[in-house]
Amino acid sequence: MLLGGSLEDLQLLVFTAEHVRGDRKPHEILRSQRLVLIGTSEGLVGGRPRGSLVRLPSLLEQRRETVTLSLVAHEIRDVAAGLWIWRLSYPDWRPEAGWPEMVTSTYVKSGGEVAVLDALAPPEEATEIWARLDADPPTMAVVLKPDHVRDVDLFVHRYGARAYGPWLFWRDNIPETELEPIEPGMELPGGLKVLYDGRGRSETPLWIPEKKALVFSDALTAPDGELLIWDTPHIDRARPALRELLELPFELVIVAHGEPVHDRAAYERALELPPWAGEPA
């Protein structure tokens, strides 16, 4: 994508990162915005206000100071004591993916354990996220759905975390780490309880009693802010299974896609609304 305008109008920090790939949506970036940008199509470094610039690569000069960049946004949000999330733009996201670009990972302290759930590694430049992770490292890394492997291997290698996840994976997305299999009805260290969502996608949501929170991968989603069941051919089975979870005294609901944090009332409404008919997940 091309970002037009003079470099005098830009205040950018640009870094290269091999693990970031794929096209990004166009973003207009002005001096008033403070953003961290990862990578360029030519692997360049980036720009600062002209007064501090020693020399620009000739490629940028030839393009009249138009820069081609890939944006990786990130966010931290505290949800409750010992429970926070971080959100990243998904590296290989494309508009036709059928779900929003920003995805959510969850960090929770419970029962003497520290777990990261469906964890996507932040870029090195997201120092605040890494500082939090390093200050109280995860002891567990849990994958809640076969296509949410994400960066479980990195968290295992970096922190020595014990890994849990599905029995089966997509053949082009298999972790190097041998995960301890989980299934509904199990209780993981820290008191995390494995649930059944009825959607037939091998997802295993978690109930965290200590935080009164449910954490989902894709069973529910909120692409436009409103919590909805993600549609499935098995919706007649999924809706009753999700309704059974109302027997749990939860107050918080966290989902991976769209607006990430919801309350119990939003969950109750979602059970009555038509499902979200985006790309099946």
Q: What is the pLDDT of residue 52?
A: 33
Give the separation between CA 252 and CA 35, rounded to whole angstroms: 30
What is 74-272's CATH topology?
A: Metallo-beta-lactamase; Chain A (3.60.15)
Q: Looking at residue 19, what DSSP letter applies?
A: T
Strands 220-221 and 187-188: unpaired
Mean pLDDT by 10 residues, the chain (281 residues): 34 33 35 33 33 36 36 86 93 74 93 96 92 98 87 94 85 82 96 92 91 95 94 92 98 96 98 85 56
pLDDT of residue 279: 63
Structure token digits, residue 274: 């038509």
List the domain boundaries for the chain: 1-72, 74-272
Contact 114, 140 (CB under 8 A): yes
